[in-house]
Amino acid sequence: IEQPGNAHNLAAGHSLVGMPMGEGGPTDDPTQSGGHSVDHTIANAITDPSVAMRSLHLGVRAPWEVCYTGAAEPVGRLTDPNQVIASLFGDFTNPDTAGVARLRQRRQSVLDATVGNIASLRQRLSTGDRIRLDEYLERVREIERRLSANVIRGESCSPLSERSLGRSPFREHDDRVDYFHPYYDPDVATPAMIDALVESLACDRTRVATLTLGDNNIWHWLRDRDDNVISATATGDWHQDVVHAYWGENDEGNNAIGDSLFEDQLRRVGRWEHSMFAYLLSRLQSRREGDGTLLDNCMVLFLNEFGAATHTHDDVPYIVAGRAGGVLRPGQWLRYNGEPHNRLLLSMLRTFGIDDPTFGDPAMCGAGPLTELFT
């Protein structure tokens, strides 16, 4: 479906929703999702009130919205690993337990008063305003959940403490030109974010998590075949100068179709990004849970929003890892010709025992879940 707007916004917003982006708003507005994302459905089904965060959404240099609780309702990402650690484990690393309890009680009192005032207001609102108010109240209830969840569980749980972040040890110039708020280099922040994600699952602080990575203009920690730091060239925009130029779609006309140096750089960047996925899997596999590991009990989905830099939606690669408690069959290479990815999203629901007949656009669910994924 052809739609106006930035292709990356549209593809990212569609990837876990399975519906075209909604109309309205600026053409580049990434918030106009057509519905809720698959993680939202799964989190609602498998999370009980004792869990602090119904779902955890993290990002490192990630500009695109991916997760939604409803149409045009994006879920904000946490972009600072220490903010994640403080949110999930701050109460458990703070020695002043009495002070923490008082702070929780004070916050809860504020929430109680807010909800009471809003409930009386609701009766005087239009139907549309009530819908928006209900969405706001849902976010308030999520805060209440975090305040009331004060038990850390998990046999291999090790609550994290904040760590030193920021400058890459490979950065040649200590300036902040290419930093991304909150002032870190991704080679430092990404493993820290993965550690926080894994610990949140091991401690049962959440049961659903997403992590999005974006491009950098300078990859301080990577060198190409000529031993030069991998970086943007003509315009200072990596995505335009290298990714699009290699595929012949550079906006500045600086095309280098098939250039072997650009291919080398792309492969090295891709290898690093995949190494972060491998690091996530290794961390999950290192944590014992029941008779197996955390990875044995998880389903992990790794994806890119496009099949190639030409913004194609054909032949999009997906990697599914983990066994989800014995439901999934790993070690397969499967190819589907022209099948909509809604079938994969529907398979994710089936993995967690959710029997909805469709997900996203019903017309794109075809023959239903991908049965080959299951044992």
Contact (Cβ atoms closer than 8 angstroms) between residue 21 and residue 10: yes
Looking at residue 338, what is its pLDDT? 87
What distances in angstroms separate CA 29 from CA 52, 122, 252, one per listed residue?
A: 31, 29, 23
- CB contact set of 70 (below 8 Å; sequence gap of 6+): 33, 35, 36, 135
- The total number of residues shown for the chain amounts to 375
Q: What angle do CA 221, 227, 230 make, to 5 degrees?
A: 45
Q: Which residues of the chain have pLDDT under 50?
A: 24-27, 95, 100
> In this predicted structure, what is the pLDDT of residue 6?
72
Residues β-bridged to residue 59: 212
Say which residues have a Cβ less than 8 Å from residue 98's Cβ, sequence separation at least 6.
Answer: none
The pLDDT score that the predictor gives to residue 283 is 97
Q: How many whole angstroms separate alpha carbon 317 and alpha carbon 260?
A: 23
Give 73's strand partners.
70
Report the sign of the C-alpha dihedral through residues 335, 337, 342, 346, in that order. negative
Query: What's the pLDDT at 334?
Result: 96
Burial of 109 (0-12, 13-18, 19+ CB in 10 A): exposed
Strand partners, 210: 57
Mean pLDDT of the chain: 82
In contact, 373 and 329? CB cutoff 8 Å = yes
pLDDT tens digit string along 330-354?
A: 999 999 988 999 999 999 999 999 9
pLDDT for 3 equals: 61
Looking at residue 25, what is its pLDDT? 42
3-state secondary structure of 24: coil
The model scores a pTM over 0.85: no
The pLDDT tens digits for 236-266 are 888 888 888 777 665 555 556 668 888 899 9
